[in-house]
Amino acid sequence: MEPPSILTLLTDDLLLKILFLLTDDFDRKSFRSTCKVFHRVDSLHRTHLRVLRPEFLSTLVAKFPSLYSLDLSVCPRIDDGTIPLLLSSIPSGSSSWPGKIKRLNLSRCSGLRFPGLQMVVCFFVNLESVDVSYCCGFGDREAAALSCLAGLRELNFDKCLCVTDVGLAKIVVGCPYLESLSLKWCFEVTDIGIELLSKKCTKLKHLDISYLKVTSESLHAVGRMERLEVLVMVGCGLVNDMGLHYLGKGCPSLQVLDISRCDKLSSSALVTVIKAHSGLLQLHASYSFFEIPVTFLYQFKDLKKLRSLRIDGARVSDASFQIIGANCKVLVEIGMGKCRGVSDTCIIQLVSGCVNLKVFNLTCCSDLTDLAIQAIAESCRDLSCLKLECCNLLSQKSLEYLGSHCVLLEDIDLTDCSGINDIGLKYLSKCSELICLKLGLCTNISNKGLSYIASNCPNIRELDLYRCLGIGDDGLASLLVGCKKLKKLILSYCSAVTDRGMECLGYLEELSDLELRGLPNITGTGLRALAAGCRRLAELDLKHCENIDDSGFWALAYYSRNLQQINLSGCQISDVSLCMLMGNLPRLQDAKLVDLINVTANGFELALRACCVRLKKLKLLASLRRQLARETVETLKARGCKIRWD
């Protein structure tokens, strides 16, 4: 008789604690695939479901009784016609399930309009959070449908281009308990809508009005929101200093303010906000001011709780950083990308006081040398993210300092840092917690340097090797041994990569986003090996891979069923292969099909008809506009597909 399994000693409570410690989706999938007991625990306690194929929704609902969050944003074919079928397929035994759903994500479901949305609202009556961002055709009627959700507390309307003050009025009247509202890129919303919002939604805590054509009068209204904690108003070009004066007199609960890219504001006006809100936790003013005067920074003495500061794009001085370092002791993030006047002395003075920094953006601060990085590494031991793009004076010494002191580093951007070489990567590989590494345009690295990273950094999820001409097949071979968790890889214009490299990538089972532009040595053989191994591929860019034949594209059609985005521009694909590919990818939503010289107008016609119910974005040559049947183009647009004619 076999001894009992050790798994029988683990109670459901213990297994649940283990499950909560697994933050990665792939790890959670491995957990529930281990045995029936693990699968049961996962099923009983799963609260969020991201549906990839809508036809499976009814089956999944029965398996997960604790669901309260549903994400349909990556589902193709979510439109007015499919919603009745989708909802009616829910089994009768799950009649209580719709009432349990509190969060619903319909982002990019651009084929959905008022009739379908009304059915959704009637079905999920207890919704508290709805995301309809990037549903560009949404307007006032759709807003009216959502206004029936009286218990709604969170609503994301980003880029719902047809929503006006009328639609917003419906929302604020019907949903008085709103706590979070995002109207980013809702260009038709004006001061009138914001005024009504301030009067009706008195519980609002988070508001995003970025890129709206509102004036300072809107901030006058916003100032009356006593519970508002977060205000994001990026790119509000019509707001002037008077608007900040209104904020300074109101919003007593304000903790986060983002006025980035508001070019009519002055730093002196921002002083009124700072004086009235000493409890600010985050202040973002990137690309708003030409210069940050010292007199302005003296006001930071009152911001003792400030944790995040972004002043990208401004001119600064040594004295500026001395003041920040002396007064903002609890800063964990600072953004100085493209700031003029940043020197080694600036950085040394800053980090002498801000020793708790975890996120540091120094993009395009091209005067910095190894001395600045030494000061950062020695002072900021908890650093997790460092942006150094275009800092060309840095050498391998900088990476030696980081490797020796910043062992918690997870994200580093070294794009276009010409002084980085293989020895530097050897030093950097001591940062074994690295998750994201960007080395694009680093022309002095080779396969040897990449092997150091692969050997010591097993947690890397994202790797950018854009135009790293010294990287070839041997470097990719090292990745399959040491970087098995890699999800995103950019190899564009790494011309030394061949089919052998593609075969190596085929062993990276978690790879989902791959950019292979301009690789002349990849053929159909390499693409077949890649497609057969990387079944999780969701985004693939093959632009100007001119030597891939139809056999490679047929393999994509057969194996890559999870592809959502594909770029075939400049490829040698034929009519038959394009039709096969577009028709066989059930999740494809975004396709770039420019300069396909072997595809006829009839081939495009058939291919688009095969996938018109799924596509949300499409890029074609402008000359095809006259050759495609009007019916085909109108069908695509009616289903919410956005076509760009290049």
pLDDT band at 58; cut points 50, 70, 90: confident
Alpha carbons within 13 A on the beta-carbon side of 367: 11
Centroid of chain to Cα 202: 30
Q: How far apart are CA 74 and CA 274, in angstroms?
A: 41
Q: pLDDT band for position 170 (50/70/90)?
A: very high
Predicted local distance difference test score (pLDDT) of residue 66: 86
The stretch 506-511 carries a mean pLDDT of: 95
Q: What is the pLDDT of residues 351-363, one digit of tens each?
A: 999 999 999 999 9
Claim: this prediction has a pTM higher than 0.85: yes
Q: How far apart are CA 216 and CA 242, in angstroms?
A: 6
Q: How confident is the model at residue 63, as a pLDDT?
A: 82
Segment among 36-45, 228-237, 438-447 with least mean pLDDT: 36-45
The DSSP letter of residue 3 is: P
Gyration radius of the chain over CA positions? 27
On the 0-12 / 13-18 / 19+ scale of CB atoms within 10 A, 380 is buried
Q: Looking at 39-48, 296-305, 583-592, which range is the least confident one? A: 39-48
Q: What is the mean pLDDT of residues 252-269?
A: 96
Q: How far is CA 565 from CA 10, 281, 409, 591, 615, in A?
A: 42, 38, 31, 6, 10
- Interval 208-216 mean pLDDT: 97
Alpha-carbon dihedral 32, 38, 40, 44, rounded to 10 degrees:
-80
Q: Across residues 598-614, what is the average pLDDT?
A: 93
For residue 551, give both structure tokens.
């056999």
| pLDDT grade for 27, boundaries at 50, 70 and 90 | confident
Residue 287 clears pLDDT 70, i.e. is over it: yes
Amino acid 294: pLDDT: 87
Write out the two tokens for 645.
């004619």
Any idea which of 29-43, 76-90, 224-238, 331-345 has the lowest mean pLDDT?
29-43
Q: Which comes out higher in pLDDT, residue 11 or 522?
A: 522
What is the spatial distance between Cα 417 and Cα 404, in angstroms, rounded to a whole number?
Answer: 20
Per-residue pLDDT band at 95 (split at 50, 70, 90): low
Strand runs labelled E in 246-329: 256-258, 282-284, 308-310
| Average pLDDT over every residue of 154-173 | 96
**Tokens 């890699």 sit at which residue?**
486
Integer Cα distance of 635 and 641 in angstroms:
9
Plot region of 533 (φ>0 → left; ψ -120 to 50 → alpha; else → beta):
alpha
Task: State which of 114-118, 226-230, 290-294 shows the largest mean pLDDT.
Answer: 226-230
Instruction: Check pLDDT > 70 for residue 2.
Output: no
The pLDDT confidence band at residue 94, using thresholds 50, 70 and 90, is low
Q: What is the mean pLDDT of residues 517-535?
A: 97
Longest dimension (CA), the chain: 83
Angle at 525 between CA 521 and CA 526, to 5 degrees: 60
268: pLDDT strictly greater than 70? yes
Mean predicted confidence (pLDDT) in 257-273: 95
Interacting residues of 261 by C-beta distance below 8 A, sequence separation 6+? 234, 235, 237, 286, 287, 288
Q: Which two tokens stand for residue 36?
A: 């029936």
DSSP labels, 226-262: TT--EEE-TT-TT--HHHHHHHHHS-TT--EEE-TT-
For 531-572, what is each residue's pLDDT tens digit?
A: 999 999 999 999 999 999 999 999 999 999 999 999 999 999
Helices (H), ranges, 506-549: 524-533
- Mean predicted confidence (pLDDT) in 212-235: 97
Handedness of CA 285, 290, 294, 295 (dihedral sign): negative
427-457 per-position pLDDT tens digit:
999 999 999 999 999 999 999 999 999 999 9
The pLDDT assigned to 446 comes to: 97
Q: How confident is the model at residue 3 (pLDDT cuts 50, 70, 90)?
A: low
Give the residue among 556, 553, 568 at the shortest CA–CA distance from 620: 568
Asked whether the beta carbons of 297 and 306 are under 8 A apart, the reply is: no
242 is written with which tokens? 């008077």
> Residue 5: its pLDDT value, please?
62
| CA 566 to mean position of chain CA atoms | 18
pLDDT tier at 59, thresholds 50, 70, 90: confident
3-state SS assignment for residue 551: helix
Evaluate the CA torsion angle 286, 289, 291, 296 in order and state its sign: negative
Contacts for 222 with CB less than 8 Å, ≥ 6 apart: 194, 198, 207, 228, 231, 246, 247, 250, 251
Structure tokens at 144: 């009216």
Instruction: Please name the helix (run of DSSP H) or strand (run of DSSP E) that holds residue 48, with its range, or none.
Output: strand 48-50
Q: What angle do CA 293, 295, 300 make, to 5 degrees?
A: 100
pLDDT above 90 (res 96)? no
Pair of tokens at residue 120: 């959704």
Continuous H helices in 390-547: 396-405, 422-428, 447-456, 473-482, 499-505, 524-533
Looking at residue 252, its pLDDT comes to: 96
- Describe the crossing of helices 344-353 and 370-379 by its angle, rounded to 10 degrees: 0
**Torsion sign across C-alpha atoms 326, 328, 333, 334:** negative
- What is the per-residue pLDDT for 8? 64
Q: What is the sign, positive or negative, of the torsion defined by CA atoms of 498, 500, 504, 510?
A: positive
Share of the chain above pLDDT 70, in %: 96
